[in-house]
Chains A and B, each alone.
Chain A
Amino acid sequence: GAGVSQSPSNKVTEKGKDVELRCDPISGHTALYWYRQSLGQGLEFLIYFQGNSAPDKSGLPSDRFSAERTGGSVSTLTIQRTQQEDSAVYLCASSSLAFSYEQYFGPGTRLTVT
């Protein structure tokens, strides 16, 4: 595709519900990142995928968070039993090379947990 796309654009959910956020990276990009951006904060690294290698999950804040990347392309970030502190913008980025190269970002998903 022309760029990184994310869906949904906005998601409002009740506390305790599960949510799935989707990211479609740029075709051919082997590296994919998920970040969380809370109000007034910078980007917090969550997880990184590179090709067929095991993902780096070191940034996931709790075991309620998980992510998959199917076929080296689309990725889904799942948050189980959502809490109010999970409210944030979740950004996905992809890169053609893993190391120190420009990341192309999607427009993000704004998650609001009520």
Chain B
Amino acid sequence: GQNIDQPTEMTATEGAIVQINCTYQTSGFNGLFWYQQHAGEAPTFLSYNVLDGLEEKGRFSSFLSRSKGYSYLLLKELQMKDSASYLCASRLDSNYQLIWGAGTKLIIKP
């Protein structure tokens, strides 16, 4: 079967670092996406990993380990505007779909 797991909610402090984990069990895995979704808005693309390792984009970094079925999104120097849900999604090589996690709601406190 296809399954993606993320923590439901996390809390962090402004200026700190937070790591949001995502584990997947998907056959035909061919990459992992991270999206950000502010309350009441559409998801926006953050990052994509297909090879093992860390991809850095400014304050945000995403890591993938294909052998472990594991990814994380690392957010540094947290700002209040980073309060949002973070969705991970697995790309399959066999069709045009993504398998979506339920999302992690990140709450930033001053």
Same complex for A and B? Answer no
